């Protein structure tokens, strides 16, 4: 059962900090993409949630020094970008809302100091405008995200078959996992795993232009006939503006008597119905 006091996540109150964090996450995601081998479904560009924040997970230093790895962490407990390796001392950069360009330059400089050359195009991170970084807002988000990550991993553990990791996608700044039914889509190239596998995705978004506050979502690819008729609870609805899928607002989760069970039931109900309709 959830014991953490879940904070409100009203996007207008922390949009500046959210946007800054998203830019920072996009930068370290780009590093992860370049330093790892490609993976189907683009799992090599997503980040993971750790006990401190978002992490690239350990990555190889280069091809010439097997066994040497480094990891970049956006530490949302202590508000630092941290570079940890198994061959040099820890490096830290305080997160203050500095521009993406400034953070990228300092990160690359520290990595160069420990012998890591990044094959990234720094022009993609040339935004020189300082952002907002409210430590309290970042902490509230982190408090909620840790709990959502834990519950989503619990849901993931209940499923059989192929499943993705629970991962943070920096392009939309959402946390999600995907479940694959094991069936191929008849009119797709079976050799293309990104488009040929029938699947459902279960996620959490901080809000966007379509849904302006934090929400949970469930999508299916392809959407089976009848899924839009599912009414899993009074707090859930079927969304058609921007994407097709089930939506439950974060507030309904955070303010419920048992947030863990509410989210699990929401995910479980849609997954069971989706799996039956996909047969």
pLDDT, average across residues 4-16: 94
pLDDT, average across residues 227-235: 83
Q: Which residue reads 């040497």 in tokens?
A: 68
Give the rounded percent of residues in the chain with a pLDDT score beyond 90. 80
pLDDT for position 120: 85
Question: 92 near 107, Cβ under 8 Å?
Answer: no
pLDDT for position 2: 55
Residue 105 falls in which region: left (phi positive, over 0), alpha (psi -120 to 50) or beta: alpha
Q: Delimit the domains of the chain by residue range.
A: 11-125, 136-277
The 3-state secondary structure of the chain, one letter per residue:
CCCCCCCCCCHHHHHHHHHHHHHHHHHHHHHHHHHCCCCHHHCCCCEEECCCEEECCCEECCCCCCCCEEEEEEECCCCEEEEEECCCCCEEEECCCCCHHHHHHHHHHHHHHCCCCCCCCHHHHCCCCCCCCCHHHHHHHHHHHHHHHHHHHHHHHHCCCCECCCEEECCCCEEEEEEEEEEECCCCCCCCHHHHEEEEEEEEECCCCCCCCCEEEEEEECCCCCHHHCCCCCCEEEECCCCCEEEEEHHHHHCCCCHHHHHHHHHHHHHHHHHHHCC
pLDDT, average across residues 244-273: 96
pLDDT for position 1: 52
pLDDT category of residue 190 using cuts at 50, 70 and 90: confident
The predicted model scores a pTM of 0.94
221 pLDDT more than 90: yes
pLDDT tens-digit series, residues 23-47 = 999 999 999 999 988 888 889 999 9
pLDDT for position 40: 85
pLDDT for position 12: 95
- Helix 11-35 and helix 135-158: axis angle, to 10°? 60
Smallest Cα–Cα separation from 74: which of 45, 60, 94?
A: 94
pLDDT for position 252: 97
pLDDT for position 240: 92
pLDDT, average across residues 192-200: 89
Residue 166 falls in which region: left (phi positive, over 0), alpha (psi -120 to 50) or beta: beta
232 pLDDT more than 80: no
């Amino acid at each position: 059962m959830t014991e953490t006091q879940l904070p409100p996540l009203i996007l207008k109150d922390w949009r500046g900090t959210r946007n800054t964090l998203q830019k920072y996450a996009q930068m370290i995601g780009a590093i992860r993409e370049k330093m790892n081998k490609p993976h189907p479904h683009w799992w090599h560009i997503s980040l993971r949630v750790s006990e401190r924040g978002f992490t690239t997970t350990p990555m190889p230093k280069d091809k010439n020094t097997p066994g040497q790895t480094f990891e970049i962490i956006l530490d949302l407990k202590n508000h630092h970008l941290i570079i940890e390796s198994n061959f040099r001392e820890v490096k830290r950069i305080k997160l203050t809302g500095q521009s993406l360009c400034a953070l990228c330059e300092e990160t690359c400089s520290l990595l160069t100091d420990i012998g890591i050359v990044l094959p990234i195009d720094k022009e993609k991170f040339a935004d020189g405008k300082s952002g907002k970084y409210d430590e309290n807002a970042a902490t509230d988000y982190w408090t909620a995200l840790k709990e959502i990550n834990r519950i989503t991993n619990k849901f993931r553990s209940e499923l059989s078959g192929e499943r993705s990791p629970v991962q943070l996608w920096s392009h939309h700044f959402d946390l999600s996992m995907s479940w694959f039914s094991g069936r191929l889509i008849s009119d797709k190239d079976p050799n293309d795993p990104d488009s040929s596998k029938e699947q459902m995705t279960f996620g959490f978004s901080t809000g966007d232009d379509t849904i302006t506050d934090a929400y949970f979502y469930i999508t299916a690819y392809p959407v089976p006939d009848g899924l839009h008729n599912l009414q899993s609870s009074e707090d859930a609805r079927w969304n058609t503006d921007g994407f097709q899928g089930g939506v439950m607002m974060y507030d309904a989760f955070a303010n419920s008597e048992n947030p863990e069970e509410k989210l699990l039931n929401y995910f479980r109900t849609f997954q069971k119905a989706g799996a039956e309709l996909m047969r």
